Amino acid sequence: MKENFIRYALDNAAIVVMTDARGTITFANKKFCEISGYSKEELVGSNHRILRSGIHRREFFRMMYQKITAGHIWHGEICNRRKDGSLYWVDTTIVPHIAGAGTVDGYVAIRFDITTRKELEEELQINIKHLETAANTDFLTDLPNRRLFSQHMEDLISRSGKESGTFHLAILDIDLFKEINDSFGHEMGDYLLKVIASRLRAVMDDHVFIARLGGDEFGIILDRERSVENLELFEKILDAVREPITIGSITRYSSASMGCAAFPQHGRDAASLLQAADIALYRAKALGRDRVEVFNNESMQAVKRKSQLLSDVDIGLRSEEFMFFYQPILYPASCPAISFEALARWHHPQRGIVSPADFHIALTDPATCAIFGLYMLDHVFVDMATMRARGIRFGRVGINLTNADFRSDVFLERFFNRCTETGIGPEQFSVEVTETMLLGRDQRRVERGLQQLHDAGVEVVLDDFGTGYASLTHLREFPIDRLKIDRRFVSNIETSSEDYVIVRGIIDIAHGLGKTVTAEGIETAQQAKILLDMRCDSLQGWLFSKACALEDLYSAVQEIPEILRKLDCQPAMKAQAPHLA
């Protein structure tokens, strides 16, 4: 009685078929007939091979038969073919029937339809491939982007180092590109980039890798052995750029400058090679542009100047000449308290206030950058305590981190010690990182450090999102809480339908993944209104306030409610006011 009930329940829940030792079907239940499209009369007496789809290789069935003929149960997923030719997937368990003599005289196969699941998995894999392709491709030119360029270079360094090989790296920069943008508009500038990219693509082959690194800058890697051939190809590339381009009704002649470095002569890691190529590029521009320069002794003069800058920065840090300006970040619809981003300035004894653009080269040195990170940490904590004392209420203060901050545990230990000493908790900080920090050899150390900060309540922000460097994979794998849309998209959002769609897409993707978004570089009320209509969570830019010194911050913050009132942000304005009193 009990066995009959179990058989009845199984027959109604699963697809069941029985065969003899040779695979001839001896029984098929109703569900098997329904999914296969065959009647019971057609199935019984036929060999089970009539269901084969041709999807699985011969080795798949050989392994399966080897197991069940030995009397062992087999479990797996099989694709079968219906009578009408369509395919379906089943999760299958095959149980051998052992006769009294110990031999297998038949099999019972119990199956469950998983076709819908397999179709969804296939669709998901296709979508993932499309996303990965998009993450590795520059949206404007369809060339590989900086992310893929960095990966390719790291792979080549690893391979060439093991094989004692060599390759050349070049950075190409279009001459006077800003003038073209200013004269003809960004649309024509984008058109020029597309034309140049198509000409560069024409020279790509198995030994030539070309990517758009950002703006009007392209990266070229040649892994041919002969240096003469590589230099000849660089000249060929410059010739291609020189070909006339029709922009609107005007035929224009363009040119480019290139800086070249060789592995391993000019560097044994990606950072050193890029730095050498950058120095050579600077040399090419200084010599009149429209040329290629190889890193050499003359280029070393630039290195000496950098060395002098490093020395000056070191003195500046010891003399506490560096200070931090703070730019407000507003959350009009959700958060009553203003947040700030800390931005470094150098109060140079001769030159006055110097922006990072004039000393950032010194911070490419890992040791200097690590020291600067600790200096920043100490001073920002002091500044936050001063804000509190002056009645400036704030949500979080953002600090910009680099790989150097994670190369040892010193930075994180200093951070948590300062939190304990000052009573300023981790939840009042955000840390901004860039895509390049999530790539390369320091990736795991950076990931562990960010996770530790995130778990303690620090908000993790991915900066410059949308420039082609960022990967959707990183949004899934790293503890990212907020994205910052690059100012280049925000600046054109009023006039460029493409930038409008990109910004809206970034916001929708971020919200779909449970993350918030900041738009930076906002300069007009119309830009702010468009972004608020897109449900952008927070806004930052000169419209609200420039980055200002600590002593000017209180007065700058007091002007913000009036700006928000003009934007018709009534709920945020009312909530904001108590925090500005």
| Cα 239 to Cα 172, 174, 232, 305, distances in angstroms | 13, 13, 11, 32
Q: pLDDT value at position 386?
A: 94
Coil, strand, or helix at residue 199? helix
Q: What percent of the chain has pLDDT over 90?
A: 45
Coil, strand, or helix at residue 581? coil
Q: How far apart are CA 37 and CA 14, in angstroms?
A: 16
359-367 mean pLDDT: 82
pLDDT at 57 over 60: yes
Q: pLDDT value at position 283?
A: 83
380-394 mean pLDDT: 93
DSSP string, 526-558: HHHHHHHHTT-SEE-STTT---B-HHHHHHHHH
30-40 mean pLDDT: 90
Q: Which residues pair with 460 in a beta bridge?
A: 431
Where are the alpha helices (H) located in 460-549, listed in sequence order?
A: 472-477, 487-491, 497-512, 525-533
Burial class (CB in 10 A: 0-12, 13-18, 19+), 354: middle
Answer for the pair 561, 337: CB distance below 8 angstroms, yes or no.
no
Q: Which two tokens stand for residue 324?
A: 């931090």
Q: How far apart are CA 364 and CA 348, in angstroms?
A: 20
Q: How far apart are CA 335 and CA 211, in angstroms?
A: 40
Q: How far apart are CA 388 and CA 121, in angstroms?
A: 53
DSSP string, 407-427: SSSHHHHHHHHHHHHH---GG
Answer for the pair 432, 520: CB distance below 8 angstroms, yes or no.
no
Q: What number of residues does the chain have?
A: 581
Residue 514: which residues within 8 A CB-CB, separation 6 or more?
Answer: none
pLDDT in tens, 528-579: 999 999 999 999 999 999 999 999 998 898 888 888 887 776 443 333 332 3
Q: pLDDT value at position 572?
A: 39
| Cα 23 to Cα 34, 94, 108, 409, distances in angstroms | 20, 12, 10, 64
Q: Which two tokens stand for residue 44?
A: 């019984």
**Secondary structure, 3-state, 244-286:** CEEECCEEECCCEEEEEEEECCCCCCHHHHHHHHHHHHHHHHH
pLDDT in tens, 478-492: 899 999 988 888 988
Q: How far apart are CA 37 and CA 323, in angstroms?
A: 77
Phi, psi for residue 127 in degrees, rounded to 5: -65, -40
Q: pLDDT value at position 4?
A: 60
Q: pLDDT value at position 573?
A: 36
Q: Which of 8-17, 57-66, 330-339 has the highest mean pLDDT?
A: 57-66
Burial class (CB in 10 A: 0-12, 13-18, 19+), 336: middle
pLDDT at 93 over 90: yes
Q: How far apart are CA 383 and CA 344, in angstroms?
A: 13
Q: pLDDT value at position 574?
A: 36
108-125 mean pLDDT: 88
Lowest mean pLDDT among 75-84, 98-107, 319-328: 98-107
407-426 mean pLDDT: 94
In this structure, how many other beta carbons lie within 10 angstroms of the beta carbon of residue 212? Answer: 26
Phi, psi for residue 92 in degrees, rounded to 5: -120, 135
Sheet holding 104-113, edge to edge: 25-28, 15-20, 104-113, 87-98, 74-81
pLDDT in tens, 235-291: 889 999 999 887 667 788 889 999 999 888 888 889 889 988 988 898 888 788 899
Interior/surface letters 475-485, b for 16+ CB within 10 angstroms, e for the rest:
beebebbbbbb
Mean pLDDT of the chain: 86
Burial class (CB in 10 A: 0-12, 13-18, 19+), 367: exposed
Phi, psi for residue 240 in degrees, rounded to 5: -65, -40
Q: pLDDT value at position 467?
A: 65
pLDDT at 324 over 90: yes
Q: How far apart are CA 564 and CA 165, in angstroms?
A: 60
